[in-house]
């Protein structure tokens, strides 16, 4: 397929190579993409969990501080992507080596992303089946629902960044409006008396912040897979801050208010309860679509790295891998897999700590000083492993910040002590 045919097909073909200047995008489109990831049922779940464990004002404070911390690290990772114009798995070739990036970083990314794609597809299919039966009296087998929505979300991921951007640009405003309407209707029907009801405090402020940051830990790294399409650091900062923060906090607030007022954090279910099942279905489907498409897309990028394929093969491996994830969801295997991929999530914050340390501390944030390394960079892997172990066994304090700091500082100290790239460190 020549360049003209690639453009006409609409399928993204830039995977591991640098994004050309003419392919770069405006910050507003990328902000919608970030917002689409944030507008999801799990985002509202965080609010619901906080609301059930602490008073209203403390829950809001914990969520806002947590998202603010995530924004800082996400902006740093995003600027790496825009500076270098390559995805995270390529950026990591400097701090983990090409082999480390392929067999450690990308393998973890792929398993986690495909795992969550399958889990979310199964949840979406099950909810769609229940919604059709309870609200319309139509029986749609759960297997059929999973196949339908898995296929729709997968096709969007196959087309790549342009298709994902268009879906999010259309879906995000609609989702925001419907979510706000649902929240208003629930409060109108149930009143606000429960908002200030006494709640037994079973979670400290620090634990609440940790819960919020844990939900977003992977984004501190995967943001580069999208920000490589940004024109400069300024656009990256704007798209990240205005994409993640408003949408994230709105979902958090809705989850908290719903949990306090009606005992149900999921606004799609609340809409069904107040007699608006169609709006509930719109929220459920669009929220799953905008979030889950990114999972399959990111898995495809990392599979190209693992298998050492040409850039244009991303669409093919995304299709195959996503189909496998959908089939596993149909078979019900994903229910057994969720605990494992949740545990795997502890790996990403320290992985990002090494990446950020390599670029911002070791290379002073200068793109011209960045270069890939052959083989494995063992002090990068050792530093990541230290943060990973701490993430698993140390549950007190701000776990995200602690693991990023430990891995990043250990990597920096080891590089200085071992004189990695002496000309660079002089």
Question: What pLDDT, on the 0 to 100 scale, is given for residue 422?
Answer: 37
- The residue written with tokens 């969720």 in the block is 338
- The residue written with tokens 């453009």 in the block is 7
Question: What pLDDT, on the 0 to 100 scale, is given for residue 424?
Answer: 44
Residue 31 domain-assigned? yes
CB-side neighbour CA atoms (13 Å) of 38: 33
Question: What pLDDT, on the 0 to 100 scale, is given for residue 358?
Answer: 96
Residue 14 domain-assigned? no
Residue 304 domain-assigned? yes
Question: What pLDDT, on the 0 to 100 scale, is given for residue 157?
Answer: 93
pTM over 0.85: yes
Average pLDDT over residues 317-335: 85
List pLDDT tens digits, range 78-130: 999 999 999 999 999 999 999 999 999 999 999 988 888 888 888 888 878 88
Count of residues making up the chain: 426
Question: What pLDDT, on the 0 to 100 scale, is given for residue 151?
Answer: 92
Could you say which DSSP state residue 19 is in?
P
Among residues of the chain, what percentage have pLDDT more than 70? 94
Q: How many domains does the chain have?
A: 1
Residue 373 domain-assigned? no
Residue 356 domain-assigned? no
Question: What pLDDT, on the 0 to 100 scale, is given for residue 53?
Answer: 87
Residue 345 domain-assigned? no
Residue 37 has pLDDT above 90, yes or no: no
Question: What pLDDT, on the 0 to 100 scale, is given for residue 338?
Answer: 60
Question: What pLDDT, on the 0 to 100 scale, is given for residue 334?
Answer: 62
Residue 390 domain-assigned? no
CB atoms within 10 A of CB 62: 27
Residue 184 has pLDDT above 80, yes or no: yes
List pLDDT tens digits, range 210-269: 888 887 888 888 999 999 999 999 999 999 999 999 998 898 888 888 888 777 777 777
Could you say which DSSP state residue 96 is in?
T
261 touches 56 (CB < 8 A): no
Average pLDDT over residues 60-84: 94
Average pLDDT over residues 381-385: 96
Q: Which domain holds residue 161?
A: 27-93+105-336
Helices (DSSP H) in 54-96: which residue ranges? Answer: 56-84, 88-91
Residue 222 domain-assigned? yes
Rank 114-118, 381-385, 390-394 by mean pLDDT and report only the highest.
381-385
Residue 42 has pLDDT above 90, yes or no: no
Q: What is the CATH number of the domain that holds 282?
A: 1.10.4160.10
Residue 101, CA distances (Å) to 302, 337, 357, 360, 376 in order = 9, 24, 16, 19, 8
């Amino acid at each position: 397929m020549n360049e003209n045919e690639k453009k006409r097909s609409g399928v993204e073909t830039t995977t591991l190579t640098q994004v050309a200047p003419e392919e770069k995008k405006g910050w507003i489109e990328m902000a919608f993409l970030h917002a689409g990831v944030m507008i999801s049922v799990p985002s509202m779940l965080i609010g619901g969990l906080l609301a059930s464990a602490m008073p209203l004002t403390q829950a809001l404070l914990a969520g806002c501080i947590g998202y603010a911390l995530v924004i800082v690290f996400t902006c740093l990772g995003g600027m790496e992507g825009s500076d270098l114009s390559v995805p995270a798995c390529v950026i990591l070739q400097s701090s983990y080596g090409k082999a480390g990036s392929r067999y450690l970083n990308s393998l973890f990314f792929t398993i986690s992303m495909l795992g969550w794609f399958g889990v979310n597809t199964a949840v979406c299919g099950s909810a769609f089946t229940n919604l059709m039966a309870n609200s319309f009296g139509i029986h749609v087998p759960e297997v059929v629902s999973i196949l339908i929505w898995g296929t729709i979300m997968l096709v969007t991921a196959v087309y790549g960044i342009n298709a994902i951007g268009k879906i999010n640009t259309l879906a995000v405003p609609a989702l925001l409006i419907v979510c706000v309407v649902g929240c208003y209707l629930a409060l109108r029907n149930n009143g606000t008396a429960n908002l200030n009801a006494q709640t037994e405090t079973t979670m400290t402020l620090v634990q609440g912040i940790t819960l919020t940051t844990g939900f977003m830990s992977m984004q501190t790294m995967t943001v580069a897979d999208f920000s490589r399409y940004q024109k400069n650091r300024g656009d990256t900062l704007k798209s990240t801050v205005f994409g993640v923060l408003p949408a994230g906090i709105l979902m958090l607030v809705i989850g908290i208010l719903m949990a306090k007022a009606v005992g149900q954090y999921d606004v799609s279910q609340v809409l069904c309860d107040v007699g608006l099942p169609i709006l509930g279905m719109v929220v459920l489907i669009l929220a799953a679509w905008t979030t889950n498409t990114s999972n399959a897309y990111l898995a495809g990028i990392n599979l190209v790295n693992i298998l050492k394929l040409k850039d244009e093969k991303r669409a093919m491996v995304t299709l195959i891998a996503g189909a496998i994830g959908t089939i596993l969801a149909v078979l019900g295997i994903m229910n057994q897999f969720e605990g494992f991929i949740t545990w795997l999530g502890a790996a990403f914050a320290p992985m990002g700590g090494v990446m950020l340390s390599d670029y911002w501390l070791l290379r002073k944030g200068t793109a011209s000083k960045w270069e890939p390394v052959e083989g494995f960079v063992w002090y990068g892997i050792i530093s990541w492993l230290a943060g990973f172990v701490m993430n698993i066994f140390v549950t007190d304090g701000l776990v995200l910040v602690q693991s990023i700091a430990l891995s990043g500082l250990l990597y920096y100290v080891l590089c200085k002590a071992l004189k990695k790239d002496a000309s660079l460190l002089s």
